[in-house]
Amino acid sequence: MPKAVSVVKVSGHCLDDPELIKQFASVVAQSDERLVIVHGGGLEISQLQRRLGIKPRYVDGLRVTDADSLALVEMVLCGSVNKRLVRYLLAAGVDAQGMSGVDRGLVRARKMRHEALDMAFTGEVASVRGEVINELLERGATPVVAPVSVGEGSNFNLNADPVAGAIASAIGARSVIFISNVPGVLADGQLVACLTRPQALELIERGVIHGGMIPKVESALDVLSSGVPQAVITDLAGWANRGGTTFIATDAESRVSEGKCQ
């Protein structure tokens, strides 16, 4: 029986720390699943922008990417971050293949619309060629994807979270795992192991899920909306030990027992 496939989205904070990236590569090497890795790198982009005298601009938490910034995004994400991650994965024994959404037209993008601002070269997913990823997986390779994607007349900078979800949907992945610097959703200081959509929305309404955790949870719920069976928010230690908070669709509520996914 073929191994299950999961998409792992790793945040930029893991990718500029040699010890963390080494740990990440080790967990990937030991996984019993076939994996597709999608990575961010926003911190390094902002650092380079400031060094070059370009002020980072954001709206609703999203980077506004002008022409100069797009060139930097391509340099950082498709270049230094992607190749650094591939290098560590290779050293751990993983047959990693670095690429971006541009390569082979993997991810087609369109310009993101905003009612108050021109988002310039900030884009959103239009479509994904799932067969590009599946061909690599069938050859035993682990795709490592930077979220720069191809659109009409230009490349676009996309947020890595929706790119991970769109790739997972296109290839029929079992789950999307969001690796960040938090172990998962906490309630009264305790990790919540499993949430359905209604439960997650209730925790947001009650203020239990707040601040920076809200967009993380919204990304997990978007994954469920795309038809992927589950999403997980966790940190490196949680992923290595099958921990974190798992989100499952409402029609799977029977699988939730005493806060644990069955």
Query: What amino acid positions are annotated as catalytic residues?
Result: 9, 12, 42, 161, 216
Q: What angle do CA 182, 215, 8 make, to 5 degrees?
A: 60
- CATH (one of 3.40.1160.10, 3.40.50.960, 3.40.50.150, 3.30.70.100) for 1-179: 3.40.1160.10
Tens-level pLDDT at each residue, the chain (262 residues): 578 999 999 988 889 899 999 999 999 999 999 999 999 998 899 999 999 998 888 888 888 899 999 999 999 999 999 999 999 999 999 999 999 999 999 999 999 998 878 899 999 999 999 999 999 999 999 999 999 999 999 999 999 999 999 999 999 999 999 998 899 999 999 999 999 999 999 999 999 999 989 999 999 999 999 999 999 999 999 999 999 999 998 765 444 544 556 5
Contact of 41 with 15, CB cutoff 8 Å: yes
- Polymer length of the chain: 262
CA-CA-CA-CA torsion sign (252, 188, 177, 24): negative
Rg (CA), the chain: 18
Q: Judging by beta carbons within 10 Å of its beta carbon (0-12, 13-18, 19+), is residue 204 exposed, middle or buried?
A: middle
Q: Do the beta carbons of residue 114 and residue 165 sit within 8 Å?
A: no
Single pTM value for the model: 0.94
SS3 186: strand
- Domain residue spans of the chain: 1-179, 184-262
